[in-house]
Amino acid sequence: MTLEGQVQAYADRLGRPVIVFDVDFTVIAFSVHDQDVDHARLAIILSHKGSSRARESIRDYRVGQAQGPVRIPPLDGGQSRLVAPVRHEGRLVGYLSSTIPEDDVSAYEDDDELRERRAQIGLLLAAMALGNREDEDRARRLLAALLEGNDDQRVRAADELLASSLLSPVPHYTVISIATPPRAEPSSATLRLVLDRALSSIPVFPTLKAVGAVLGSEAVLLVPYEIDTDRLSTLLAQPAFSGLHAGVGGAHAPLSGVHRSLREARIALRGGDTGCVVHWSELGLDRLLLQLPLEDLDISDLPDAVRRLLDAQSGPDLAQTLETYLDCGCDAQRTALTLHVHRSTLYYRLDRVRAVADVDLADGKVRRELHAGLRIATLAGLR
């Protein structure tokens, strides 16, 4: 009997709807009923995940260590739930949850038939987990070939990813690279964890299949959907992922050409601060600047006027004032508002810039040199 059949038989024996979770609280299967009015259950099924409160309750009540079903009191005014651990050969492989009426004493009864059904469900969950691990290994191998192989290897890897249904077929694909800043080495365990969390939390369309792998010192995701940047930023803001940031490449087709998106994601990654998400599509001129050998630059490589500004130690940050002024198109009113200063204060600072840098801000070529020089100094970590 299939997993769905076993779950339905278990629910029919109980006379109540049930949901099966794996050990990560992902919904694996659920029973079907004519009148399903448990809104909390429906919400879980639609989201494919148990709620954080429910997960905490299952842990708090030590369901994983129990030998049989455990009653979980109502959460947020809902119904009580009976949660049973599901094991295979003594190893926890999931949980089976059902709601219970408060006045139904028989709901707490456990018998040989239910235990046998749970054992069969455990066997099927264990087999599914093994298959998932094999799929993960295969996906990792194919992803590496797709992104780092030669032309023939990329074509074969793309065909196999789609033919094996490891990746959903869509018109375009995007690559995300998650890593630490240069010279910082994240642990492989951290990268694997952020990869797993990202695959489950950032898709706008959860039904589409994505693949990911840890390649060297970065976690790489190949996604067939629009990126939810807010979710990814929230994920990277968690203490467990301190120091990580993400670069998002452009959308590319066909799949065999998606290595270009990885290149773009890695370039975008160079322009981001810790915890942020940088999109290739939003880089503008930085697309070019980030491809310079920034790590080899020092302050002596910058234009003299920029270097003089950065060397100036007294008074307000003249470099920041000038960069904001140039960012605002040399609009004094807009610059003053951005810097939260009076316009007369801005004019004073600009006069100081002219004096310290020895430049004429009315000269368009000078402004271009200053603007580019300041931006390169920022990207190279020289200011």
Would you kindly state where each structural domain of the chain is located, as residue ranges?
3-124, 149-289, 294-379
% of the chain with per-residue pLDDT over 70: 89
Which pLDDT band, with edges at 50, 70 and 90, does 280 fall under? very high
Tokens 């109980």 correspond to what residue? 14
pLDDT above 90 (res 199): no
CATH, range 294-379: 1.10.10.2840
Q: DSSP string of 260-309?
A: HHHHHHHHHHHT--TT-EEEGGG-TTHHHHTTS-GGG--GGGS-HHHHHH
pLDDT average, residue stretch 46-72: 81
What does the pLDDT read at residue 34?
57
Name the pTM for this structure: 0.65
Q: DSSP string of 179-220?
A: EPSTT----HHHHHHHHHHHHHHSBSSTTS--EEEEETTEEE
What whole-number distance in Å separates Cα of residue 213 and Cα of residue 198? 11
Minimum mean pLDDT range among 64-68, 123-127, 151-155: 123-127
What does the pLDDT read at residue 383?
85
pLDDT average, residue stretch 349-373: 94
CATH, range 3-124: 3.30.450.40
Contacts of 254 (CB under 8 A, 6+ apart): 158
Tell me which fold the domain 149-289 belongs to: Alpha-Beta Plaits (3.30.70)
pLDDT average, residue stretch 351-356: 94
pLDDT average, residue stretch 269-291: 86
| Segment (H or E) for 378 | helix 364-379
